[in-house]
Amino acid sequence: MAVKKPTGMAWVRLYTDAPRHQKVLRLMARPKGREAWGVYCFALAWSGDQRTDGYVPDYALAAMHATPAIAGLLEESGLWERNGTGWHIHNWDKRQESTQELAAARRSKRQRACKKHQLDGHPNHPPGCQCWMEDYE
């Protein structure tokens, strides 16, 4: 049985009050601010997909259709924080699920499914099967 590697996060959180948040309002008032906001949203999605826990390395700017100048605007606005060879999305750890949290949730879901299959007598899940413990990461 082939083991599929799970994808990153299926979604990321974006608060509904973002358009009236002071940092966003200040960013939008700047030249290229709307472009920077689009890059910020792309960065949320990219980081979730790549499981970087909010880290955006320098080399990934092109994947977000960004330039160093746009990254500078996000940094100046307080939405990104410089971190070594890239940036960290401000408050990622408070607003998004971490890679560890996602992995634990996946393991728990696999465990429940395995136990259900055991109860149903599925041939690939004999009594005592602990396939859910296999590391998919």
Q: What is the mean pLDDT of the chain?
A: 83
Backbone angles phi, psi at 50, to 5 degrees: -90, -5
**Residues in a beta bridge with 82:** 87
Residue 110 tokens read as 């696999």
Report yes or no on whether pTM surpasses 0.75.
no
Q: Report the 3 state secondary structure along 60-113.
A: HHHHHCCCHHHHHHHHHHCCEEECCCEEEECCHHHHCCCHHHHHHHHHHHHHHH
By three-state DSSP, how is residue 56 classified? strand
By three-state DSSP, how is residue 6 classified? coil
Which pLDDT band, with edges at 50, 70 and 90, does 105 fall under?
low
Give 35-90 pLDDT, tens digit per residue: 999 999 999 999 988 989 999 999 999 999 999 999 999 999 999 999 999 999 99
CA distance 132 to 69: 45
